[in-house]
Each structure stands twice: as C-alpha cells, then as structure tokens.
C-alpha cells in the first residue's frame, strides 16, 4: 500500500510538472516545439515593424490611422475575424491607407487545447474575410495572447506559415505613457517588431504613446514598415 501511495504521488508530481511545462511553453515568446517562430528580423537597416492587435474597432482604429498618416508611417494590424465582419469599412480603410492586415484568429479565443478543426476554422475564416477586402499579400498569423502549443504551430507549419509575435511589448511592463515610450526607446533595435494595444478602450496610455514613439524613433533614423516589408529583408 505504501508503494502504491508513493507511485501515485510520483505520478501526480510528474503530471503536474508536465502540465506546468506545457503552460509555460504555450505562452513562450522565444520558443515553440513546431514550425517557425518570428519575433524580430536580423537586419542592419534602420527599420521596425509597428503592429497593433485586436481591431478593427470603431473610434479607435481611425484615430490610429490618423496618427500614422501624420508621420507617414506604415504598420501591420492583426485583426480579429469577427471584428472585421462587424466593421468591414474600417478594415478596408486600413488597406486603402497602405497598411497591412494580419490574422489574429476569428474569435480571439485561446488556440490551445482545441481540436484541429477548430483551429483551422479560426484561421481560415479570418483569412477569407481579409481576402474579401482585396488584400493579396501574405497573411501572417499571431495567436491571441501569444498562446500556442501543438495544433496551431503544426497547422501553420503544414501551410508554410510562421507564427509571428514580437520582441517589444511595452504595455506588459508599463501602464503609464512615459514608461511605454521609454521602454521602446531603450530596447528598440533594427528589425524589431513592436506590439502596441491601441484599439482597446482601456489602453489610453498606448494611444498617447503612439505619436511620441513615432516621433522619437524617426528622429533616430528609424523607418516604420509593414511586416511583409520587414520579412523581405531576411532574404536580402
């Protein structure tokens, strides 16, 4: 009986360790088991890709477009399929103004512990909505909350598509505008992919930080390009 209790305890600890390891791996910004993971592009060119998640959202997306137009900067908007369906006119304006649209899933649900059919539907339904807007370039995928484990990376690998995250996420570390701006200025490198949540009502500090980030980095000689333009530098 004692041996049985010990064996059960060991099994419980082992299962807990595996579960904890899987959880940590699922949200890793630097590693995944399958497929290609992109967090920045190695380049000496003074370029960065500014990316925004979770739109399009009435009142916020258009205000972001106005700021980008003021600085003649381009960006990549990782959009949620259901939000595109509800706001197609806003999504179309993003493309009309020379920006790029990425796939942030259809429902913005975590894509771990999901069936392959669920994951493929989340990606493909959103792809279809993006194509319906007239977008013809490569559609990059960023999973909600950066969460992925096996099914999504395998699906993307089988379709020759990378998972695209970022190397700078200032609002993870700072909740005030000055901190967000300072973090980007201190950590940016050529080829950085910057994530800013500017289309969520509560992220006032990010919307206030955006023009300051654009101004500061342009003064330092950086250009803001779409993700496709940045990725093209890997082959040059």
What amino acid positions are annotated as catalytic residues? 53, 197
Dihedral angle sign, alpha carbons of residues 217, 218, 222, 228? positive
- Quick check: 147 and 26 in contact, CB under 8 A? yes
93: phi then psi, degrees, rounded to nearest 5? -65, -35
Q: Hey, how many other C-beta atoms are within 10 angstroms of the C-beta on 236?
A: 6
Share in percent of the chain as helix, strand, coil (round to 5): 50, 15, 40
- Quick check: 17 and 23 in contact, CB under 8 A? no
- How many residues comprise the chain? 236
């Amino acid at each position: 009986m004692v041996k049985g209790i010990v064996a059960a305890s060991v099994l419980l600890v082992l299962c807990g360790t595996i579960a904890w390891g899987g959880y940590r791996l699922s949200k890793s910004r630097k590693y995944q088991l399958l497929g290609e993971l992109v967090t920045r592009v190695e380049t000496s060119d003074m370029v960065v890709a500014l990316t925004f998640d979770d739109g399009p959202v009435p009142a916020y997306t258009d205000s972001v477009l106005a700021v980008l137009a003021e600085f003649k900067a381009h960006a990549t908007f990782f959009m949620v399929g259901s939000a595109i369906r509800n706001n197609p006119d806003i999504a179309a304006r993003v493309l009309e103004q020379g920006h790029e649209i990425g796939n942030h899933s259809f429902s913005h649900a975590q894509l771990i512990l999901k069936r392959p059919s669920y994951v493929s539907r989340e990606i493909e339904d959103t792809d279809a909505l993006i194509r319906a807007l007239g977008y013809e370039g490569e559609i990059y995928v960023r999973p909600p909350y950066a969460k992925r484990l096996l099914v999504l990376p395998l699906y993307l690998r089988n379709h020759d598509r990378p998972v695209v995250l970022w190397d700078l996420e200032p609002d993870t570390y700072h909740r005030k505008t000055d901190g967000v701006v300072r973090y980007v200025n201190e950590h940016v490198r050529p080829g950085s992919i910057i994530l800013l949540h500017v289309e969520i009502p509560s992220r006032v500090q990010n919307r206030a930080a955006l023009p300051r980030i654009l101004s500061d980095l342009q003064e330092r000689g950086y250009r803001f390009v779409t993700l496709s333009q940045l990725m093209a530098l890997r082959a040059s």
